[in-house]
Amino acid sequence: MLFRMNTAHHRLPFFFLLCSVLLAGSVVAQEQSVRPGINRHFVDPDWQRWVNTFERPGREVYDKRHAIVAASELRPDMAIADIGAGTGLFTRLFAPRVGPGGTVYAVDISRSFIENILRTCREQGLSNVKGIVNTPDDVGLPADSIDLAFITDTYHHFEYPRQTMASIHRALRQDGRVIIIDFRRDPRVSSRWVMGHVRTNKAQTIEEMKAAGFRLVADKPFLRTNYFLEFVKSG
């Protein structure tokens, strides 16, 4: 009699146990923030203050903005994501290059930045720009939706670089590219602020991108205090 168990009675707990095991195996552990609080200044930013900071002579990526656009090798009808778009400097430069058949996604964690980018684009008659307010670990783009992810002086602001780059990897089409421009973090050319503020140097960024499933295809040395790296999906 001890072995004549009611099988119907015991199936239900086993079913819930099996589901729990399967669900536990499918959950991806949350990446730990590599720089907690680094984006606190962008929670409710003063728009004009950051325009004066990002779009000023003497800032290398501003002074070299047209050379950067040329080096990015844009084509009409491309879909580009300006990740960490900030005040929209490159968003507005890219939009005419890809033309009415293309799309530029301005992506930023700051709603204020996105609202002001869209406002300034409307004022300039740029109708092919879309705004996305993303989360700290996901750029919020659909899969296979972009040809280029453009990341300028923003990679070091990624709190969750592994998960953020995974979301970019998903969003890129098969032949899509990633361009990362960031500070060199080299004591020979970098300020004390850069040395204390920026998390990675060029070599470390390349290694992290390799681990994220990307392959370096170009290192264009026309910048002095920044580097210009271009990647494609590995394999």
How far apart are alpha carbons 88 and 158 in whole angstroms?
18
Structure tokens at 172: 């890129």
What is the mean predicted confidence (pLDDT) over 14-33? 52
What is the mean predicted confidence (pLDDT) over 84-92? 97
Residue 235 pLDDT grade (very low, low, confident, very high; cuts 50, 70, 90): low
CATH of the domain at 69: 3.40.50.150
Beta bridge partners of 148: 80, 177
* 14 located within any domain: no
Q: What percent of the chain has pLDDT over 90?
A: 73
| Cβ-contact 135, 110 below 8 angstroms | no
Angle (nearest 5°) at CA 27 between 23 and 31: 165
Whose structure tokens read 């501003």?
62
* 10 located within any domain: no
The number of distinct structural domains making up the chain is 1
How far apart are alpha carbons 144 and 37 in whole angstroms?
31
pLDDT value at 4 more than 60: no
Beta bridge partners of 227: 182
> 210-230: per-residue pLDDT in tens?
999 999 999 999 999 999 999
Phi, psi of 9 (to 5 degrees): -65, -30
Start-to-end CA span in the chain (Å): 61
* 4 located within any domain: no
Residue 38 pLDDT grade (very low, low, confident, very high; cuts 50, 70, 90): confident
Other Cβ atoms closer than 10 A to 119: 13
**In the predicted model, what is the mean pLDDT of the chain?**
88
CA atoms lying within 13 Å on the CB side of residue 120: 19
Domain that holds residue 119: 40-233
* 29 located within any domain: no
* 21 located within any domain: no
* 149 located within any domain: yes
Other Cβ atoms closer than 10 A to 133: 15
* 31 located within any domain: no
How far apart are alpha carbons 155 and 137 in whole angstroms?
12
Beta bridge partners of 231: 178, 216
> 158-189: per-residue pLDDT in tens?
999 999 999 999 999 999 999 999 999 888 88
Query: Could you tell me which residue, 194 or 166, shows the higher pLDDT?
Result: 166
| Cβ-contact 134, 108 below 8 angstroms | yes
* pLDDT score, position 20: 44
Total-model pTM:
0.85
Structure tokens at 153: 């002086």
* 30 located within any domain: no
Alpha carbon dihedral 193, 196, 199, 202, in 10-degree steps, equals 60
